[in-house]
Amino acid sequence: MEYETLILEKEGGVCTITLNRPDRLNAINYQLTEDLVNVLDEIEEDPEARTVILTGAGCGFCAGADIKDMADPNAKRLPIGQRYGFFNKLENIGKPVIAAINGPCNGGGLELALCCDFRIASEEANFGLGEVKLGIMQNHLL
């Protein structure tokens, strides 16, 4: 299956999911959340899939929510109750998930990494929850 905002590669039981919005540091928007849910469903149903690697295209893992997209009144949005379903799906997929963190990993991107069973970070990786400075707590961390 083809996905608009990520790449799925399968080799010898290893499924590599690459978040593929490098121009936005792989920031999370509606399409990415939809693609993540669908790809995780595909992997979960694949009897040959034994493990998952999650990484980001370009120089970043995931910058968190796409703020530019959030500011667009015409952008497609998930209902509040469904916005964080992909975090739960990632945590409960039933296969070991490794986050290969190759650069900035902030906000929702950090939450995404924390949902994985293992995290491996490159020397270029950095982590942050900028929302805390604004008095905002990440929903999935509650």
CATH of residue 126's domain is: 3.90.226.10
Q: Which of 42, 111, 123, 124 is catalytic?
A: 111
In a domain, 134, yes or no: yes
In a domain, 1, yes or no: no
Q: Which of 34, 42, 44, 131 is catalytic?
A: 131
pLDDT digits (tens, 9 = 90+) for 25-74: 999 998 999 999 999 999 999 999 999 999 999 999 999 988 777 666 77
Q: Is 131 a catalytic site residue?
A: yes
Name the burial class of residue 137, with classes exposed (0-12), middle (13-18) and buried (19+) by CB atoms within 10 angstroms of its CB.
Answer: exposed
In a domain, 81, yes or no: yes
Q: Is 9 a catalytic site residue?
A: no
pLDDT digits (tens, 9 = 90+) for 97-135: 999 999 999 998 999 999 999 999 999 999 998 777 767
pLDDT digits (tens, 9 = 90+) for 77-96: 666 556 667 888 999 999 99
Note down the domain range covering 112. Answer: 6-141
| Structural domains in the chain (count) | 1
- Lookup: tokens for 57: 């295209």
For the segment 9-38, the average pLDDT, to the nearest whole number, is 96
The per-residue pLDDT for 3 is: 98
User: What are the phi and psi torsion angles at 127 (to 5°)?
Assistant: -130, 145
If pLDDT is split at 50, 70 and 90, which confidence band does 137 have? low
